[in-house]
Amino acid sequence: MKQKGWKDLVPGSVILEGGSAVKFKTGSWRAYRPVWKEENCIQCLFCWIYCPDMSIKVKDGKRGEFDYDYCKGCGICALECPGKKGVKAIVMIEEGT
16 binds other proteins (CB under 8 A): yes
Residues that bind other proteins (rule: CB under 8 A) add up to a total of: 17
Site stretch for other proteins (CB under 8 A), options 7-15, 25-33, 39-47, 70-78: 7-15
Bridge partners, 63 (sequence order): 58
1 binds other proteins (CB under 8 A): no
Burial class of 50 by CB neighbour count within 10 A (0 to 12, 13 to 18, 19+)? middle
Instruction: Specify the length of the chain in residues.
Output: 97
18 binds other proteins (CB under 8 A): yes
59 binds other proteins (CB under 8 A): no
Q: To the nearest whole angstrom, how small is the minimum distance from the Cβ of residue 9 to other proteins?
A: 5
6 binds other proteins (CB under 8 A): yes
86 binds other proteins (CB under 8 A): no
Q: How big is the CA angle at 39 (ends 97 and 85), to the nearest 5 degrees?
A: 105
Q: Which residues bind other proteins (CB under 8 A)?
A: 3-7, 9-20
